[in-house]
Amino acid sequence: MKTIKAEILLAELNRLRKDLDEDPSDLEWLTLHHAFCFISYKMGEFQAYLDEQARSGAFESFEA
């Protein structure tokens, strides 16, 4: 079973968010910003979700 840490996905989400100009009128920026904020507040639940997904093989193709 290949596992993944929540911090890895959160860092990538933050990178995508930072690639955009901060523009609250832009739906893409708004979506990434609020998804990042929500997930960062719910890290424990997100890690539990990722662990569950790992058990089902969701990360077998991922190469870190």
Compute the distance between CA of residue 31 and CA of residue 20 in angstroms, rounded to an integer: 11
Distance CA 17, CA 10 (A): 10
Picking from 24, 46, 44, the residue whose alpha carbon sits closest to that of residue 33 is 24
| 16 inside domain | yes
Domain assignment present for residue 39? The answer is yes
Q: Is residue 23 part of a domain?
A: yes
Q: What is the pTM assigned to this prediction?
A: 0.86
11 within domain boundaries: yes
- Tell me if 63 is assigned to some domain: no
pLDDT tens digits, the chain, 64 residues: what are they?
A: 899 999 999 999 999 999 999 999 999 999 999 999 999 999 999 999 999 999 999 999 998 7
User: Residue with structure tokens 């990434």?
Assistant: 32
Judge whether 1 lies within some domain: no
Query: 62 lies in a domain?
Result: no
Of 8, 4, 2, nearest to 57 (Cα)? 2
61 inside domain = no
Query: In one letter, which amino acid is 30?
Result: L
For residue 31, what are the domain limits? 6-55
Number of structural domains, the chain? Answer: 1
